[in-house]
A and B are shown apart, each in its own frame.
Chain A
């Protein structure tokens, strides 16, 4: 009810004020109320926060640094979790095939998975919203070109985009960047496969808003199209965009895992959750279940929590469902 309210005819308040306004309304709102009423959602939020926090402060939180090769000893490999025979107090959840602590690799791995996830969603959002606004507001040829580009985009599976960009980056960039290049490759590849959704959402909304009287009025008095879009169209679509973004974060983490699983993602020396699962997938029969199970569970829990949040947000932001 709050989000889709009628717009005044004249130009609305500035973006900054709007944000404050929205924040204030948020805590007064039904959203906050429904949040505090649902234990599942609170738990999801807490889990997500724990993951984000642990990732952000990984060097402080993790018992050891799995990326520091000088501290890793191959002879420490395949140590079981501490409660099993042969467990080692240094490694709470055991070690992997290279002698890295599983707990530490999960913490550092979530850092990479979430890093890639957030960055690619942000990238997709910026790209998608911009193109969607342009497409919807101007229409005609520009619209056709952008929407056909979206069709082209949907044709390419994320894995192929990742492969192609990876190859391209290696060919174009100087060698010194090669060891870090995978991050940008993943962000680009995953981000590129998401922008279409934002673009289509925003486009639809922009097409509707464009014909509303207050926008036409703004146009008549000479406010540049850029400002009109920013002030009037954008705020209308922030709700759905936020919902898509949350769900995309979950999908981005899964996509990253899938790409890493297929071997085009994060290198083994700085593993993400997906890479850890790929490594673990070599050990389903060998008895070292902790290498497989813990990263898999971590990924599932993280994605589930984010998904639950996104789900709740969608219902909470949909005024029709109250």
Chain B
């Protein structure tokens, strides 16, 4: 401990950083080491910042890798490895890089590392190709200035770059890991899979996949680390009950997710409490509106879901309040939009749901020509979203009241996604899905969920909802730089989609963490957890 403090002082940092280091050092010197332990339901899948585009993995990596920009716990976009950025030309963003930043191996950070990282996310094993697609080319202006050229004007590029992390070019070359981790089996990239060398506030000191990962503060970090911990230990615990038990018994300081039904228990228990908030993930139901006959239904020769009245009947048959209070224990936020309030483009005025009305739903079914209802299979994941299978069960029993018989096929996420996604030809008639826009912008769900399945759009529009105007709007929103006009376009897209009942939005699910009273943590609406905001008494 003392060694680290001495070392950090030797490096002659700026006054603020030195003060922070002293503060940490003081706490260490004054008391015992402060270890913080936390648990999540799964392990972080790789240490490679370009290996997997998944919230948990990228969020975990943000403790030691950094991008040009980052977000605060309130999702505010703030400088990270870039100190400022501007839109110098419609298709070019200029980033001014932070000076004096060191990677954890001591190498300096500069423009070459940015260019290298752009190359690296284009390599074969990279799962960051979505980000790569945003960047036509990266041009080095000088050692601390980089121009990023986009394929088309992109007003929201900085918003999309938070999870594009920078890796040290020299380190990658030394360790033969200049390509992203490759599952094919050659050694390329595998070093970065289990080792990390970022610029961030923490450093990985030990990694045992599925067992534990140990981190310690980075004494040379450029920023001010608000945490007072000297060591952090992460353990994946997949069973809900075991995870909650570990929290209550004090084995871990923080655990997530906590089943919503256990909030009360945490409140009652000594020394722990739930930490909750609305997540940016919207849960919704979708219909196959594309095929002329449903794959799994008693209705033959036609597709009942092509009829807007049927879709609306389903919508109004669902008692969202009962789901909120009983299944979600009051923790969910019912929604009529496909995006959450935290998402750029959300418009509260349009979030009013159609009323729950069984009689109306029945009469709509009669009008549509299904007085006795019909039978349809519903696909549902059972290990993906908060109480996903229970929501589906509740929906099935509500639809039974209007004569619709649901065959519920609830499966693990591997099997569920293997069945319903594009590679299996969207094999579903009626399904439940959840979505968090990775860019925190409405354009993402409008393109991925609501546009017709053309030109790479609508990739997760599993039911093939198709309105040409919405699709067109998606393109317009992408390039519109005037915020007001852009909002109007977004509103129009959501309005059409709502009126046509393209999907049935249900709610935003809650964030559900449990925290020991000895620790304070900051919760981000996208469930990302940052160690630098953790303090332990």
Q: Which residue numbers of A lie inside 8 Å of B, CB to CB?
A: 69-70, 72-75, 77-78, 97-99, 167, 175, 178-179, 263, 267-269, 281-288
21 CB < 8 A contacts A-B: A69-B397, A69-B405, A70-B401, A72-B397, A74-B319, A74-B327, A74-B397, A78-B326, A179-B377, A267-B408, A268-B389, A268-B393, A269-B393, A281-B240, A282-B241, A283-B261, A284-B241, A285-B248, A285-B262, A286-B259, A287-B265
B323 touches A74 (CB 8 A): yes
CB neighbours of B102 from chain A (8 A): none
Q: Which of A74, A179, A281, A288 contacts B241 (CB 8 A)?
A: A281
A69 touches B396 (CB 8 A): yes
How many angstroms from the CA of A78 to the CA of B382 in the assembled complex? 21
CB neighbours of A286 from chain B (8 A): 259, 261-262, 264-265
Q: Which of A70, A98, A167 contacts B393 (CB 8 A)?
A: A98
B393 touches A175 (CB 8 A): no
A268 touches B410 (CB 8 A): yes
How many angstroms from the CA of A72 to the CA of B397 in the assembled complex? 7
Q: Which residue of A lies closest to B389 (CB)?
A: A268
CB neighbours of B244 from chain A (8 A): 285
B517 part of interface (Cβ distance < 8 Å): no
Q: Closest CB-CB distance, B10 to chain A, in whole Å?
A: 50
**Known contacts A98-B394, A98-B397, A263-B412: A74-B377 contact under CB 8 Å:** no
B400 touches A70 (CB 8 A): yes
**Known contacts A178-B409, A179-B407, A283-B261: A269-B326 contact under CB 8 Å:** no
Q: Which residue of B lies closest to A281 (CB)?
A: B241
Q: Closest CB-CB distance, A276 to chain B, in whole Å?
A: 13
CB neighbours of B390 from chain A (8 A): 97-98
CB-CB nearest 5 A-B residue pairs: A69-B400, A286-B261, A285-B265, A69-B397, A179-B407
CB neighbours of B400 from chain A (8 A): 69-70, 72
How many angstroms from the CA of A282 to the CA of B389 in the assembled complex? 12
Q: Which residue of B lies closest to A68 (CB)?
A: B400
CB neighbours of A98 from chain B (8 A): 390, 393-394, 397
Q: Which of B241, B245, B261 has the most CB of A within 10 A?
A: B261
Q: Which residue of A lies closest to B408 (CB)?
A: A269
Q: Closest CB-CB distance, B266 to chain A, in whole Å?
A: 8
B383 part of interface (Cβ distance < 8 Å): yes
CB neighbours of B327 from chain A (8 A): 74, 97
CB neighbours of B323 from chain A (8 A): 74
How many angstroms from the CA of A287 to the CA of B265 in the assembled complex? 7
A282 touches B261 (CB 8 A): yes
CB neighbours of B410 from chain A (8 A): 267-268
B354 part of interface (Cβ distance < 8 Å): no
**Known contacts A97-B390, A263-B412: A282-B326 contact under CB 8 Å:** no
Which residues of B (405-420) have their CB < 8 Å from a CB of A?
405-410, 412, 415
How many angstroms from the CA of A61 to the CA of B408 in the assembled complex? 26
**Known contacts A281-B241, A285-B244: A175-B295 contact under CB 8 Å:** yes
Main secondary structure of the interface of A (DSSP, over half): loop
Additional 18 contacts, C-beta under 8 A, given A98-B393, A178-B409: A72-B400, A98-B390, A98-B394, A99-B326, A175-B295, A179-B407, A263-B382, A267-B408, A267-B410, A268-B393, A269-B408, A281-B241, A282-B259, A284-B241, A285-B245, A285-B248, A285-B261, A286-B265
B322 part of interface (Cβ distance < 8 Å): yes
A77 touches B296 (CB 8 A): no
How many angstroms from the CA of A178 to the CA of B376 in the assembled complex? 12
B398 part of interface (Cβ distance < 8 Å): yes
CB neighbours of B295 from chain A (8 A): 175
How many angstroms from the CA of A98 to the CA of B394 in the assembled complex? 7
CB neighbours of B406 from chain A (8 A): 69
How many angstroms from the CA of A89 to the CA of B394 in the assembled complex? 23
Q: Which residue of B lies closest to A75 (CB)?
A: B322
Please count the residue pairs between chain A and chain B whose beta carbons lie under 8 angstroms apart in the complex: 79
Q: Which of B240, B319, B326, B401 contacts A77 (CB 8 A)?
A: B326
Q: Closest CB-CB distance, B56 to chain A, in whole Å?
A: 21
Q: Closest CB-CB distance, B38 to chain A, in whole Å?
A: 19
B296 touches A175 (CB 8 A): yes
Q: Closest CB-CB distance, B420 to chain A, in whole Å?
A: 13
Q: Closest CB-CB distance, A205 to chain B, in whole Å?
A: 43
Q: Which residue of A lies closest to B269 (CB)?
A: A285
How many angstroms from the CA of A73 to the CA of B383 in the assembled complex? 24
CB neighbours of A179 from chain B (8 A): 377, 407, 409
Q: Which of B240, B377, B415 contacts A282 (CB 8 A)?
A: B240
Q: Closest CB-CB distance, A139 to chain B, in whole Å?
A: 43
CB neighbours of B248 from chain A (8 A): 285
B396 touches A269 (CB 8 A): yes
Q: Which of A69, A73, A75, A178 has the most CB of B within 10 A?
A: A69
Q: Which residue of B lies closest to A77 (CB)?
A: B326
How many angstroms from the CA of A287 to the CA of B266 in the assembled complex? 11
How many angstroms from the CA of A38 to the CA of B383 in the assembled complex? 48
Q: Closest CB-CB distance, A105 to chain B, in whole Å?
A: 13
How many angstroms from the CA of A214 to the CA of B295 in the assembled complex? 62
CB neighbours of B415 from chain A (8 A): 167
CB neighbours of B401 from chain A (8 A): 70
Which residues of B (430-472) have their CB < 8 Å from a CB of A?
none
How many angstroms from the CA of A72 to the CA of B400 in the assembled complex? 9
How many angstroms from the CA of A98 to the CA of B245 in the assembled complex? 25
How many angstroms from the CA of A283 to the CA of B406 in the assembled complex? 26
CB neighbours of B264 from chain A (8 A): 286-287
B326 touches A74 (CB 8 A): yes
How many angstroms from the CA of A179 to the CA of B407 in the assembled complex? 7
CB neighbours of A72 from chain B (8 A): 397, 400
Q: Closest CB-CB distance, A80 to chain B, in whole Å?
A: 14
How many angstroms from the CA of A17 to the CA of B64 in the assembled complex? 81
CB neighbours of A281 from chain B (8 A): 240-241
CB neighbours of A69 from chain B (8 A): 396-397, 400, 405-406
How many angstroms from the CA of A72 to the CA of B382 in the assembled complex? 21
How many angstroms from the CA of A175 to the CA of B293 in the assembled complex? 14
Which residues of B (231-246) have their CB < 8 Å from a CB of A?
240-241, 244-245
CB neighbours of B382 from chain A (8 A): 263
How many angstroms from the CA of A73 to the CA of B401 in the assembled complex? 10
Q: Which residue of A lies closest to B268 (CB)?
A: A287
CB neighbours of A175 from chain B (8 A): 295-296, 377
Q: Closest CB-CB distance, A74 to chain B, in whole Å?
A: 4
Q: Which residue of B lies closest to A176 (CB)?
A: B296
How many angstroms from the CA of A80 to the CA of B240 in the assembled complex? 23
How many angstroms from the CA of A78 to the CA of B261 in the assembled complex? 11
Q: Closest CB-CB distance, A48 to chain B, in whole Å?
A: 31
CB neighbours of A178 from chain B (8 A): 296, 377, 407, 409
CB neighbours of A74 from chain B (8 A): 319, 322-323, 326-327, 394, 397-398
